[in-house]
């Protein structure tokens, strides 16, 4: 786009809030569709466990075409990571840490709006997250609900959202939609429904769709082999993560429940992706 503006900046963070407080900087990219126009709404995009990729590119470009700015926070490069290894938990970074980085990036825009980002309407905001990014966005309203506009729309795409944390009830104060495929065996559509039942959120289910449906490149169904899942565990609702970590240190997912491994199916679905985009565009353009 002729008048598109890209701004790169960084925010301060730590390597991992639970295990390693080594300070790092986290890279962020803001894309403004038209640097000469004002009142452009913002969509914050949270990447999945594979990092920035074709899904983030697709949403940045599709939303820019509709006059919507995007903010992407790269939670991996500053940690010298390329992805989270779901076979062995290598390179893990918590959704709560990623949520903090996301809010810090949004606050940077707010603090510098008059000087650098006057064309943005930072009161019209949507947040979209893919898989691990959906969990990260859920932690935004869970732990930072007073730092974002009350009208923020959250689009949570095939997230884990399990165990259900007490802070997730904050979703009742926001406009939240969970999107899931019926055949997803990496993250559970049933747990997504449970999240929505508990928080009065909207659940959108796509028939015969699997994990990763927003990521072009999975045009033919692929498989992530032997990945660890936890949706089979009967966590109480709500569950304190501190209690979960206590059992993880004992080699269990929860009490007498062992970890489960699956060969997870992955495939892009254009119709499902367009539904998510249409919802975001509709929420922001009609706000």
* Residue 195 is assigned to a structural domain of this protein: yes
* % of the chain residues with pLDDT over 90: 70
Per the CB < 8 A criterion, the answer to whether 214 and 273 are in contact is yes
Burial 213-236 (b: 16+ CB within 10 A, else e): bbbeebeeebebeebebbbebebe
Residue 133, helix vs strand vs coil: helix
**The token pair that represents 187 in the structure block:** 């993250």
Per-residue H/E/C for 56-124: HHHHHHHHHCCCCEEEEEECCHHHCCCCCECCCCECCCCHHHHHHHHHHHHHHHHHCHHHHCCCEEEEE
The yes-or-no verdict on residue 18 having pLDDT over 60 is no
What pLDDT, on a 0 to 100 scale, did the predictor assign at position 21?
65
* Residue 226 is assigned to a structural domain of this protein: no
The yes-or-no verdict on residue 11 having pLDDT over 80 is no
Q: What is the CATH number of the domain that holds 197?
A: 3.40.50.1820
**Among 111-120, 156-165, 170-179, 189-198, which stretch is predicted with the lowest mean pLDDT?**
111-120
- 18 phi and psi angles, rounded to 5 deg: -85, -35
Neighbours of 192 (CB within 10 A): 28
Mean pLDDT of 169-180: 98
In the chain, DSSP finds a helix count (H) and a strand count (E) of 7, 10
* Residue 16 is assigned to a structural domain of this protein: yes
pTM across the whole model: 0.94
* Residue 31 is assigned to a structural domain of this protein: yes
* % of the chain residues with pLDDT over 70: 93
What pLDDT, on a 0 to 100 scale, did the predictor assign at position 20?
58
What pLDDT, on a 0 to 100 scale, did the predictor assign at position 111?
92
The yes-or-no verdict on residue 23 having pLDDT over 90 is no
* Residue 189 is assigned to a structural domain of this protein: yes
Range of the domain at 140: 5-219+269-285
Alpha carbons 139 and 145: distance in angstroms, whole number = 9
* Residue 11 is assigned to a structural domain of this protein: yes
What pLDDT, on a 0 to 100 scale, did the predictor assign at position 86?
72
The yes-or-no verdict on residue 89 having pLDDT over 90 is no
Q: Could you tell me which residues come within 8 angstroms of residue 176 by beta carbon, excluding any fewer than 6 positions away?
A: 141, 153, 154, 156, 196, 199, 201, 202
Number of domains in the chain: 1
- The mean predicted confidence, pLDDT, of the chain is 91
Alpha carbons 275 and 224: distance in angstroms, whole number = 25
The yes-or-no verdict on residue 153 having pLDDT over 90 is yes
């Amino acid at each position: 786009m002729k008048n598109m503006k890209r701004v790169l900046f960084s925010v301060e963070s730590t390597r991992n809030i639970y295990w390693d407080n080594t300070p790092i900087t986290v890279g962020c990219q803001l894309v403004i569709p038209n640097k000469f126009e004002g009142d452009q709404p913002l969509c914050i995009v949270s990447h999945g466990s594979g990092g920035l990729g074709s899904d983030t590119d697709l949403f940045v470009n599709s939303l820019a075409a509709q006059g919507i700015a995007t903010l992407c926070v790269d939670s991996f490069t500053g940690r010298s990571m390329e992805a989270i290894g779901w076979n062995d938990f290598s390179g893990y970074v918590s959704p709560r840490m990623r949520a903090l980085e996301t809010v810090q990036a949004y606050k940077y825009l707010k603090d510098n709006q008059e000087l650098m980002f006057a064309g943005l309407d930072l009161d019209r905001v949507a947040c979209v997250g893919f898989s691990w990014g959906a969990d990260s966005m859920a932690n935004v309203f869970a732990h930072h609900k007073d730092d974002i506009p009350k009208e923020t729309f959250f689009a949570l795409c095939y997230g884990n959202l399990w165990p259900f944390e007490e802070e997730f009830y904050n979703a009742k104060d926001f406009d939240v939609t969970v999107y899931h495929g019926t055949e997803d065996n990496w993250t559970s559509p049933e747990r997504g429904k449970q999240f929505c039942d508990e928080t009065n959120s909207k659940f959108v289910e796509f028939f015969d769709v699997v994990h990763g449906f927003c990521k072009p490149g999975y045009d033919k169904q692929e498989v992530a082999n032997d990945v660890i899942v936890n949706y089979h565990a009967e966590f109480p609702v709500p569950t304190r993560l501190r209690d979960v970590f206590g059992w993880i240190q004992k080699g269990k997912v929860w009490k007498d429940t062992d970890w489960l491994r699956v060969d997870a199916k992955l495939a892009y679905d254009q119709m499902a992706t367009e539904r998510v985009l249409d919802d975001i565009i509709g929420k922001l353009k009609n706000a």
